Amino acid sequence: MGIYLLESGVVTFDLPSNKTILVVGNSFTECSINDNILTNVSNMSQSGEGYFYSYLKVKQILKRNPQIDTLVIGYSYECLSKSREAWFGSTNFIRSKVPSYFFLFDSDDLWSMFTTNPYDLLYSVPRSIHIGLVATIKYALSNQSMSSWGGYLFIEEEELEQARALYIADKKNDPVEFSPIQKKYLVKIFNLASSYDVKVILLATPIHPILESGLAKYKDHYYSFAEQQLHGAVLINHSSFDIPESGYYDLEHINHKGATLYSEYIKQYGFASLLHDKE
């Protein structure tokens, strides 16, 4: 079914020809990169997206969009932490993500997930078939392809004070452990992009100073993994980028005000000219 959905046009990963920079990642980049301002950028980030799902998307997008010359990957201090294992193997994430992505799995992807959580993977297969059939019918009736794989998220609200309280109670005591599956698929994304001669940028988007300070324990591994395993990628650390308090949604995400400020900055200077700020 997967080959049919992709080759028939039922599912499409085609981007406009002016989109030469692809952004993938989780809610950090989803909320920060406004591709309405950055007209040559396609932000395909999605909340709760681990590198496993980013890899599946990037594989299809690069195959079908030769104009892409730069891949920006959301790479924050916590992105390799053990807590991100849940984004791959937990019941909630498998049942919400797999049905839309199952037809993109190759044998290695399938085995990785099956050996982690076979029950919820198998549980999700009928829904995946259902989504494929509905997409096929919709395409036959209206020539409308399944094409929504992420995008910029406009956030109006500010919940900073509540986030401060939750962080004090919950975040600061997290243990420093790392996720093998996140590492594996981040390296696979990097190698895939390199095979297409696509430049890779690892981007940490702005986070609140309280959180930036609290995550200092991850910094050494953050830098060393990029240097040792992703050699040749450009590392841009904007975790401490100056955003006013009114520009934050919570400690981890900026709202639309912050995203406008940040995206205008990128528009002025360009991804390629930005330097990481190693502290």
Domain count, the chain: 1
Measured between alpha carbons, how far is 235 from 160 in angstroms, rounded to an integer? 28
Tokens of residue 53, six digits: 């799902």
Structural domain includes residue 156:
yes
Q: What is the mean pLDDT of residues 139-157?
A: 79
Distances (CA, A) of 247 to 69, 130, 165: 30, 41, 18
* Domain carrying residue 175: 2-18+42-261
Structural domain includes residue 33:
no
Structural domain includes residue 172:
yes
Q: What is the mean pLDDT of residues 182-211?
A: 96
Instruction: Give the percent of the chain with pLDDT over 90.
Output: 72
Kindly indicate the confidence band of residue 7, based on its pLDDT and cuts at 50, 70 and 90.
low
Closest of 78, 76, 254, 240 to residue 160, by C-alpha:
254
The one-letter amino acid code at 37 reads: I
What pLDDT is stored for residue 132 in this prediction?
78
| Strand positions, DSSP E, 147-217 | 199-204
Pairing of strands 70-74, 41-43: unpaired
Dihedral of CA 109/115/120/121: which sign? positive
The answer, yes or no, to whether residue 42 has pLDDT greater than 90, is yes
pLDDT tens, residue by residue, 236-249: 999 999 999 999 99
Q: What is the mean pLDDT of residues 128-147?
A: 75
Instruction: Give the percent of the chain with pLDDT over 70.
Output: 89
> How many CB atoms within 10 Å of residue 226?
20
The answer, yes or no, to whether residue 279 has pLDDT greater than 50, is no
Structural domain includes residue 48:
yes
Kindly indicate the confidence band of residue 12, based on its pLDDT and cuts at 50, 70 and 90.
confident
Contact (CB, 8 A) for 205 and 238:
yes
Q: What is the mean pLDDT of residues 68-95?
A: 94
Burial 140-149 (b: 16+ CB within 10 A, else e): eeeeebbeeb
Tokens of residue 109, six digits: 């992807």
Q: What is the mean pLDDT of residues 83-100?
A: 93
Closest of 1, 3, 9, 109 to residue 54, by C-alpha:
109
What pLDDT is stored for residue 176 in this prediction?
83
Structural domain includes residue 279:
no
Per-chain mean pLDDT for the chain: 89
DSSP category for residue 121? H
Kindly indicate the confidence band of residue 278, based on its pLDDT and cuts at 50, 70 and 90.
very low
- The residue count of the chain comes to 279
Kindly indicate the confidence band of residue 276, based on its pLDDT and cuts at 50, 70 and 90.
very low
Structural domain includes residue 30:
no
Kindly indicate the confidence band of residue 275, based on its pLDDT and cuts at 50, 70 and 90.
very low
Structural domain includes residue 272:
no
Q: What is the mean pLDDT of residues 10-35?
A: 93
What pLDDT is stored for residue 171 in this prediction?
55
The answer, yes or no, to whether residue 211 has pLDDT greater than 60, is yes
pLDDT tens, residue by residue, 20-32: 999 999 999 999 9
Structural domain includes residue 49:
yes
The answer, yes or no, to whether residue 277 has pLDDT greater than 50, is no
